[in-house]
Amino acid sequence: MNDNDNVNASELTKRRIKLELAYDGSDFHGWQVQQDTAITKTQPRSRPLPTVQGCIETALERLLHHPVRILGSGRTDKGVHALKQVATFSTTRDYKPEIICTALNAFLPPTIRIWNAVEVPLSFHPIRDVIGKRYRYIIDDAWTPFPFLRQYVWQCQKKLDVDLMREAASQLLGTHDFAAFQTSGSPRDTTVRTVSGIKVERTENFGVWQTASNRSLIVFEIEADGFLYNMVRTIVGTLSKISAVTKQNNITTRTEKIQRMQTILNSRDRTQAGVTAPPHGLYMLDVKY
């Protein structure tokens, strides 16, 4: 049984609640609870950093009056957002799920919202039962960045060719070894993943921030059975590099640029890929069970 899983043989009377939630990751040091171990001039200190998991656990303990550990469907880094994250916790309290949902939102900061709460079998596991995830990444490629979106998009300030990015990204569909798009992080048994969907499009519709000027955003979405550490952000960084560079290693034609993605994929070499795109343009979009 996973150490983070708060159900064991002696706790079979507990109920398991599944939460679906969204959060603005701008002010959080990621999803997972962690300590600030910075050393000051006077003395070392160790204190909890603000994290999404920590915020929710504190709110749940206020509501349920007992210690709570929640387990999320995946960890997001500092600055990464979620339109749909899934997490579970267990309790012996008999509150109805809809009451838990309403009460939690009253205790949580406005940067975290619980969309839904349902009771699930004790056997449900938010990580092991996942069959697919979908992420979205948003880019503002205007020469002059739009200031109101600076915490929610990558303002790369270089014009990108969306059609070329779409064609290059299509090389990633299917089952491949994605080692070239992984940065060092949690160890994995395998770097093979299956990508079932990819979308790259330019949109002029970005809500109330839309202006009368000719502005647009690039939206990249990818769905797979699982993701390596920083895989999405590295793919985006690689696509931007392939699209923006006019001449790279004697690659001058459109076809050569598109084929470059396949070469990087086959190399399994992280140094061949592009930069890791900034975290604040990334959104966990959906989790499928």
Query: Can you say whether the dihedral through the CA atoms of 169, 174, 176, 182 is positive or negative?
Result: positive
Active-site residue (options: 3, 27, 36, 77): 77
Reading the block at residue 222, the tokens are: 């990818």
- The span from the CA of 66 to the CA of 17, in Å, is 15
- The span from the CA of 79 to the CA of 239, in Å, is 21
Percent helix, strand and coil across the chain, each to the nearest 5:
30, 30, 45
Asked whether 276 and 183 are in contact (CB, 8 A), the reply is yes
Say whether 77 is catalytic.
Answer: yes
Q: Vertex 99, ends 94 and 102: CA angle to 5°? A: 150
DSSP label at residue 49: P
Catalytic residues: 77
